[in-house]
Amino acid sequence: MLPPRPAPRPADLRGLPSASRLERRVALAVTAVATAWFTLVAAWEMFGPILAGHYASSAGVGIIADNMLRWKILGPVWEYTASRPAPAMYYCHHPWGIFWTTAAFMEVLGRHDVVCRLPAVLLSAATPPLLHAIGRSVYRPAAGAAAAAAFVVLPITLSFASFNALEVPVIAWTLLGLLGYVRMTQTSRRRYLAVSALGLTLAMNADWPAFVLTGGLLAFGALRAYALPRRVFGPIHERRYAAWWALTASLAALTAALYVALFHASGKLGDLLSSYGFRSSGNAAPLGEVLASRRTWIELSFTPVAIAAGKLAAVVSVARLALLRREHDALPLLFLAMATVQYVVFRQGADIHIFWPHYFGAYFALAAAVLVDSGAALLERAAARRGPAGAPRPAWPALAALGVWLVPLAVILRDGIPALRYARETGGRFNERGHLIHSDGAKTAFLRWLAPRLREDAPVELHEGMKATWAQVWALGGRVVTPNRPAPRAEPRGAYVVDTRFLSDREQASLARRFDITAVGPFWAMGAGLGASAGAGRGIEASSFREREPGLLTWYLVSGTEPEREIVPDPFLTWELRTHFGQPAEPPAGPPETLDQQRIAHNIALSAGDGARAAALRAEIDAALTPLGARFDDGTEILGATYHEGARSLLTLFVRAGGPAASDVALAVRSRVVERAPLSTTMADPLYREVGLPTAISPQRWRAGFLYADPVPIRKRPGTEVFWASLRSRAPGRAPKLLDRGGATEVEVLRLR
């Protein structure tokens, strides 16, 4: 026999748990602050260009929306085409809801970067109020405030608040569906039934995990309403509950059937099944080993404090469901189940996507509501034992529980804010498991500068060294782009684009010899599509990026992690490139304006035999550097460095060449976190990370006595990070050795705390 079910909390006329006016006001104030903060985070950089990394998938969604409108098709196509795409090109790994949503925004607002982010920004802004409404409806106002506040401090939710992909809409729409379910069971009103069905259906059109949550809710509903005696969870409105269950189950079945039919018609049903087989690969490994290998990502995404609180709340939720027998205590557990299936079953996805456990963020928010309500109930019980019988419930227990909960949230936020910037700087990749990270800020600026200079019908081919992303394709304005193309044998009909930092010296020389080159920094473009500006026989014409720090408004709305860039003709860079590739080069008429132009002016003087001029310029350059004096046995010397701290911090190494380097020698910079940040609870990232980009002019083409610069974007990890430079060779034992450094193979060039 079951013991009697404990009496539910008293409810007000709206069916909500009764609470004092003070508790309601404080809860609303906390929720308002949380919502404002999270909205500001989500809207940060919303008008800026989309760059590389995981965030580039938002540009992919924009490309799909653009294709839907251009070709009047329902199916998503990731790439631009010269003719109407066939259904065989449709992307059928996920439901199409997010693509249709973005297409609707683009139809109204036009093709702009902001459209690729705006749906996620709006849904993120709505998420804290939804969490508050659920917590307030199920538990009490303080619990709702705790849920809203918990969601907006987690590193992972902050980092992906504007990520227009799958997780943000699934979280928002499922929360709407759960809110409708809660209020329907409290009031039996049809409008809440409709809200629940709408929210869950929209979520199922966003991604498959919503089917897990919806299926779990339907299974629990069938158990609660039809398998268990009424005394277990209490009475229900029979007709309304049956209508909700039947409608939700029907919509789930119809949504699943819709996509099965669409994918089958596109010939992609097998592709869907194979993709999920691929995503679930690695399941043979013990779960403990898998989680241990992801420890850095897990702690960086949630912090140990949030992880411990989430584990505690899971136990408390199970205990409450069993002892209090309140059906709504199942909701956090259902969200936990959805997040766990996503993270544990599809291990390959979690191994390469740091945002894979994003759904745990919503669970943590609901868990916060459980913990605050449980704490408040214990304090109320203690107060009732001490106070007179029949006295009204005081407000202080709920406010005290909320206040205590805000302390660990502040600890979490201490790690959340640095993680937010780290995520924006790396395109959501964080440490990328030690691999070199490109923001593509300069590359995107170059492509946007190039696009209007091409003929409208000119296709673009990208060399594999461009490391093409959807963001690059989007930046070129909707033209046909073919990535990973080898160097052309004849002049391209459109344009061929390379990043010389990832192009061999031999290939650079071949292109410079055969084609007229438009160079902007390390990026080269060539081909007939460049139009009249590309006059025959002109050789290399170079421009440079002029960078400046963004103003406050630009920092917030456009980019807080990249400088503002202007592309201007650069006669000094033109001389340098022409000289190194055997083309006639006239020295610039004007004086150098930047430190890099001073470097090239030094080389011009040296080339002209003007030793006095070269020495004077060398002295000016040395005065601007932090000296390093790292000499290698091949004659190369790292003279010093400059460090600029700004929206995109930049370390620039200045090198004096001893002559052409061996065929596989390159300048390299790597870093490691040696101490975790003060007051941080997350572990220090143990990985060595490659941070140095190859030089635009290959070391194999360097000239003795010339000065070269290697700009290294710095995307600092949390904690104290040390950066080292070296000359590296692919063949063991062939790298130039440091002299007078006690056998060290690299020199420290920067230390940041």
Taking only the tens place, the pLDDT of each residue in 562-610 is: 999 999 999 999 999 999 999 999 999 999 999 999 999 999 999 999 9
How many Cβ atoms sit within 10 Å of the Cβ of residue 8? 11
Distance separating alpha carbons of residues 193 and 186, to the nearest angstrom: 11
The answer regarding whether domain 625-753 maps to CATH 1.25.40 reads no
**What are the tokens at 260?**
């099965």
Taking only the tens place, the pLDDT of each residue in 650-702 is: 999 999 999 999 888 999 999 999 999 999 999 999 999 999 999 999 999 99
User: Helix crossing, 396-426 with 359-386: angle to 10°?
Assistant: 160
Distance separating alpha carbons of residues 235 and 31, to the nearest angstrom: 32
Q: Taking a C-beta distance cutoff of 8 angstroms, is the pair 525, 490 a contact?
A: no
**pLDDT class of 5 with cuts at 50, 70, 90:** confident
Query: Does residue 276 register a pLDDT over 90?
Result: no
Query: Does residue 532 register a pLDDT over 60?
Result: no
Residue of 517, 475, 467, 485 lying closest to 694 (CA atoms):
467
| Cα separations in angstroms, 224 against 10, 185, 235 | 22, 12, 10
CA angle, 47 then 50 then 52, to 5°:
155
The domains of the chain are located at 26-430, 439-588, 591-622, 625-753
403: Cβ contacts below 8 Å, ≥ 6 apart: none
214: Cβ contacts below 8 Å, ≥ 6 apart: 174, 177, 200, 203, 204, 248, 252
The residues facing 460 across adjacent strands are: 481, 495
79: Cβ contacts below 8 Å, ≥ 6 apart: 63, 89, 473, 481
8: Cβ contacts below 8 Å, ≥ 6 apart: 234, 326
Query: Does residue 434 register a pLDDT over 90?
Result: no
The DSSP call for residue 241 is H
Distance separating alpha carbons of residues 715 and 671, to the nearest angstrom: 10
The pLDDT, as a whole number, for residue 238 is 92
**What are the tokens at 159?**
């980092």
Query: Does residue 1 register a pLDDT over 70?
Result: no
Three-state helix/strand/coil letters over 485-540: CCCCCCCCCCEEEEEHHHCCHHHHHHHHHHCCEEEECCEEEECHHHHHHCCCCCCE
The pLDDT, as a whole number, for residue 363 is 98
Distance separating alpha carbons of residues 3 and 447, to the nearest angstrom: 70
The pLDDT, as a whole number, for residue 282 is 65
The pLDDT, as a whole number, for residue 38 is 99
Q: Taking a C-beta distance cutoff of 8 angstroms, is the pair 106, 66 a contact?
A: yes
Taking only the tens place, the pLDDT of each residue in 252-273 is: 999 999 999 999 999 999 888 8
Q: Taking a C-beta distance cutoff of 8 angstroms, is the pair 183, 154 a contact?
A: no
187 three-state secondary structure? helix
Burial of 457 (0-12, 13-18, 19+ CB in 10 A): exposed
Mean pLDDT calculated for residue range 358-372: 98
The residues facing 727 across adjacent strands are: 667
540 three-state secondary structure? strand
| Cα separations in angstroms, 259 against 94, 96, 101, 262, 332 | 9, 9, 16, 5, 28
Strand order across the beta sheet in which 720-729 lies: 689-690, 665-675, 720-729, 747-752
Q: Taking a C-beta distance cutoff of 8 angstroms, is the pair 177, 240 a contact?
A: no
How many Cβ atoms sit within 10 Å of the Cβ of residue 494? 20
The pLDDT, as a whole number, for residue 457 is 87
pTM of the model: 0.94
Taking only the tens place, the pLDDT of each residue in 325-349 is: 999 999 999 999 999 999 999 888 8
Distance separating alpha carbons of residues 300 and 423, to the nearest angstrom: 10
Mean pLDDT calculated for residue range 60-72: 98
707 three-state secondary structure? strand
Taking only the tens place, the pLDDT of each residue in 10-44 is: 888 898 999 999 999 999 999 999 999 999 999 99
**pLDDT class of 98 with cuts at 50, 70, 90:** very high
Mean pLDDT of the chain: 94
The pLDDT, as a whole number, for residue 533 is 47
Query: What's the sign of the alpha-carbon dihedral 714, 719, 720, 723?
Result: negative
The pLDDT, as a whole number, for residue 530 is 84
Taking only the tens place, the pLDDT of each residue in 452-501 is: 999 988 999 999 999 999 999 999 999 999 999 999 999 999 999 999 99
**What are the tokens at 397?**
């227990």
Taking only the tens place, the pLDDT of each residue in 176-211 is: 999 999 999 999 999 999 999 999 999 999 999 999
**pLDDT class of 389 with cuts at 50, 70, 90:** low
